[in-house]
A and B are shown apart, each in its own frame.
Chain A
């Protein structure tokens, strides 16, 4: 066994598709302790093994599919595995998390991950068993959609595949496992550039725990906690992420007509409530998930995965579509084609506005959608105007203009929250390592708008410190192989019982608003300042410790998240992709005439954020910070 820690399988595979060579890839236990796994560890591997400045679609680019210690461990929500590479859409770090069955089966084969380089001279798939990996001919699969590809592979294996979008190098092509997507950053195109159509894995090895009894008990308590929490025990199972449509609309943050407004008069028609009442067949979950936030709906007589909140917004309000039947249909079509619904919907919204402004010649229009199904096919196959939209909004703006209303950050199309009504989200989108991603941003809208206790969503006060905290914890949770939706329980269920209009709620809200000063120094006291675990709110560190045998504490866990965020930032610095900006529409156009433009809050939050992070005034981690985190990389740009 190549690791002293349980929970990990101790081996990684390396496959060179140009030479056909399959070998072992070494990871040290020190790196396991520092980076835990998944996206953080994958970035460390990319930093150490991939040359700076490479073309992400060239044979020398690495594509990493890996897991965390919790993946497949039977702890709640732990089917999660990761896909990482330099993103062809952004040129920055690309990482995408997926809840399909591939990661679990990969571990059962005895592997924590696979590092893929090179380019096959014809379409191939990688077949992984307990004996290793074999590269096999996939000529018969090329051109098939993601469902047919999975059906054509061996039954009962865990699969990860691309659709036509990945084959045709659409810059936001995703990978699909079962019906779950590694959606963002265009990693499906990286697979496509290698002529890699699919991976499949099947094994029967056991994932052992260092303290089986302690692990079992901690897992049971965690499951009980998730089931009894109002968000993870009721809202998400009943309404899925779609529950957000109405609250985000009322918060004036629902992208409408390419983010030109924050409210859509027909929001109710595309809401989670309407989805649940009129379309929902049942809910579904990723493996080992007690939350089960997934939706099952019927499209063309078949039960299929329903849309997430992001898809409802970007294919609903953002293009002025109030027909949920259409969204269900397009969502299914995009999953089959292998398209990221966020980047795709956002880029289409941009193309419509370009057309409306006379900058692009097309038939696209807000509110009329006879063209949509054909357009999605054209994007995936890079035909006509679809070829431009396949490049994403930043590239389109470079060609046609309209940069100020091309709604992306670092080249990644922004998710379904308008930051002008939640300024902490604005900060998060701007600094997020992978670009306009709500999760990597720190998801401050929960602290500012939708959570049980909220801060003033227009005030910059304390937002830098809370953004850093949220980003670090999400990073650590993802690194461990766990779904970030488990973090909703950080806001203990008792907080949901506090009378929102009572004195206590007001006091907590005020304290949060001024807590930045104290929070600023959290990083300084990590890990020694939190030498304990806190399972009633953040069970992750305790469970990782029981599983792996690592001496994990809350402090070490949070610091691992901070380390992951910093190494991703260093990747971006090295690739020249570390500019932290937002589109002009967000910065200068007001959503609410009574409020100052977002630019004013950003000017206060951004320097504060760099300070809390220990980064210099240009957003580069200082040597001292890197040394403290044990990241042995030069800080020079």
Chain B
């Protein structure tokens, strides 16, 4: 069976490096998505990706099962670089 299709949304510095707001990707869990992203974009993207916060729909994956968190069809992963301001 095909892995579920999920939307991956990028923010701030990552968006600039990916050249788009979002992509679609087939992945069983968050680890699959990270693997896919690492092979799709350049090293500069990957460097920022390492330090990013990842949200599945509306929950930070640190409150779920981390990178092992399973994905379902139609999920959205939000990937955000650390940030500041105020």
Which of A's residues lie within 8 Å of B, judged by CB? 230-232, 234-236, 238-244, 246-247, 250-252, 263, 272-273, 293, 309, 415, 438-439, 443, 446, 449-452, 454, 484-485, 488, 491, 496-502
Contacts and interface: CB of A to CB of B under 8 A. Distances in A.
B50 A500 contact: yes
16 contacts: A231-B84, A239-B12, A244-B83, A246-B12, A272-B12, A443-B86, A446-B84, A450-B53, A451-B82, A452-B82, A454-B53, A485-B86, A497-B47, A499-B50, A500-B50, A500-B52
Interface string B16-59: 10000100000000000010000000000001101111110010
A272 B84 CA distance: 12
A451 B58 CA distance: 18
A119 to B, nearest CB: 35
Given A244-B83, A273-B15, A450-B82, A498 B55 contact: no
A266 B85 CA distance: 21
Given A230-B13, A231-B84, A438-B86, A250 B55 contact: yes
Interface in B59-86: 60, 66-67, 78, 80-86
A488 B84 contact: yes
B51 A244 contact: no
Contacts of B86: 241, 244, 309, 415, 438-439, 443, 446, 484-485
Contacts of A449: 53
B82 A243 contact: no
B80 A500 contact: no
B82 A234 contact: no
A498 B85 contact: no
Contacts of A484: 86
B84 A451 contact: yes
Contacts of B78: 246, 250
A238 B50 contact: no
Contacts of B60: 250-251
B13 A500 contact: no
Contacts of A498: 50-51
Given A247-B11, A250-B78, A497 B85 contact: no
Contacts, number: 99
Interface of B: 11-13, 15-16, 21, 34, 47-48, 50-55, 58, 60, 66-67, 78, 80-86
A450 B84 contact: yes
Contact of A309 (B58, B81, B85): B85
B82 A250 contact: no
A443 B84 CA distance: 10
Nearest to B15: A273
Given A250-B55, A273-B15, A235 B50 contact: no
A234 B53 CA distance: 17
B81 A230 contact: yes
A499 B51 contact: yes
Given A241-B85, A500-B50, A273 B66 contact: no
A250 B85 contact: no
Contacts of A485: 84-86
A501 B12 contact: no
Given A230-B13, A251-B60, A452-B51, 10 more contacts: A230-B81, A231-B83, A235-B85, A239-B12, A244-B85, A415-B86, A450-B84, A454-B53, A485-B84, A501-B66
Given A247-B53, A247-B83, A263 B58 contact: yes
B51 A250 contact: no
Contacts of A263: 58
Contacts of A236: 84-85
Given A263-B58, A496-B51, A238 B85 contact: no
Nearest to A242: B85
A242 B11 CA distance: 12
Given A244-B86, A501-B67, A235 B51 contact: no
A243 B83 contact: yes
A542 B37 CA distance: 42
A251 B51 CA distance: 16
Nearest to B11: A246
B85 to A, nearest CB: 4
B82 to A, nearest CB: 4
Contacts of B15: 273
Nearest to A438: B86
Given A230-B13, A238-B16, A263-B58, A243 B85 contact: yes
Contacts of B21: 273
Nearest to B78: A250
Contacts of A272: 12
Contacts of B82: 230-231, 450-452, 491, 496
